[in-house]
Amino acid sequence: MNKKINIAIDGYSSCGKSTLAKALSRELHYAYVDSGAMYCAVTLFALRSGFIQEGKVDEDALISSLPNVYVSFRYNPDLQVSETHLNTQNVEAEIRNPEVARYVSVIAAIPAVRSKLVKLQKRMGESGGVIMDGRDIGTVVWPDAELKLFMTAETEVRAKRRYEEMISQGVSVSYNEILSNIEHRDTIDSSREVGPLKMAEDAVIIDNSALTLDEQFQFALNQVRKVNAGQKAAPLPSRD
């Protein structure tokens, strides 16, 4: 696997996109970019700046402040992961809190926000050898990516996984709150006018409702091998 291709991983929230992307990046020695973290960072900026009050976003104020927003990733050698930085500050932990999750899809639907981050994301893939996950990577950011994967899972399965993850991290949250948040994010992500969540026509779908982490990893890795061998990526075999 000497060829450095770009891999776009799109899909619904809490489908394990970042987990799969990180595993592939370690195996392939590719750079990993969490595009969702970039939108979370902008959301955190909006919250800190007071642009979100009583559930409403002051879009004009946020748009005016976008030139002051800089999102980057820095590799942490101790944890062996790239962490999200907002204006030079490490915000990796803060962007994962429920308050950010509640508003990130709203912030991501603002055209000016998407325009700023999409330009940055496009530049990140110019040299190849990058794995990026998000909602519109294969359709908007990298329409020419050599491999596109689209991840999905049953809503209840995603909510259960997210709930268990947050409880394990010591976050006080209810399952119903998580389920409601996921359903809300799905609606916004799929219906927004700019860069909606949509599967690229040439993407390979991975429904991991009943898959183990290793099963989906091995399947995805096999797709990379096929593409590097000049073959066409193949769909996930049915279990029926």
- Contact between 142 and 125 under an 8 Å Cβ cutoff? The reply is yes
Handedness of CA 11, 27, 25, 23 (dihedral sign): positive
Is 159's pLDDT higher than 80? yes
CA geometry: angle 74, 215, 127, nearest 5 deg: 35
Name the amino acid, one letter, at 234: A
Q: DSSP character for 1?
A: -
The model's confidence at residue 2, banded by pLDDT at 50, 70 and 90, is: low
Name the amino acid, one letter, at 54: E
Name the amino acid, one letter, at 202: D
Question: Which tokens in the block code for residue 39?
Answer: 């939108």
Q: DSSP character for 139?
A: I
Is 236's pLDDT higher than 90? no
Report yes or no on whether pTM surpasses 0.85: no
Q: What's the pLDDT at 178?
A: 92
Rounded distance, CA 158 to CA 162, Å? 6
The model's confidence at residue 1, banded by pLDDT at 50, 70 and 90, is: very low
The model's confidence at residue 169, banded by pLDDT at 50, 70 and 90, is: confident
pLDDT tens readout for residues 4-52: 899 999 999 889 999 999 999 999 989 899 999 999 999 999 999 999 9
For residue 188, what are the contacts with CB-CB under 8 A and spacing of at least 6?
A: 105, 106, 108, 109
Is 175's pLDDT higher than 50? yes
Is 117's pLDDT higher than 80? yes
- Contact between 170 and 45 under an 8 Å Cβ cutoff? The reply is no
Average pLDDT, the chain: 91
Enumerate helices (H) and strands (E) in the chain, giving the number of each. 8, 10
What's the topology of domain 7-227? Rossmann fold (3.40.50)
Q: At which residue do the structure tokens 């990058």 appear? A: 130
Q: Where are the domains of the chain?
A: 7-227
Give the residue with greater pLDDT, 231 vs 239: 231
- Contact between 46 and 52 under an 8 Å Cβ cutoff? The reply is yes
Q: What is the mean pLDDT of residues 103-113?
A: 93
Q: What is the mean pLDDT of residues 84-90?
A: 95
Beta bridge partners of 66: none
Contacts 24+ apart (CB under 8 A), 232-235: 233/147, 233/204, 234/204, 235/204, 235/205
For residue 230, what are the contacts with CB-CB under 8 A and spacing of at least 6?
A: none
pLDDT tens readout for residues 45-74: 999 999 999 989 999 999 999 999 999 988
The model's confidence at residue 90, banded by pLDDT at 50, 70 and 90, is: very high
Rounded distance, CA 119 to CA 114, Å? 8
Is 75's pLDDT higher than 90? no
Is 103's pLDDT higher than 60? yes
Give the residue with greater pLDDT, 203 vs 79: 203
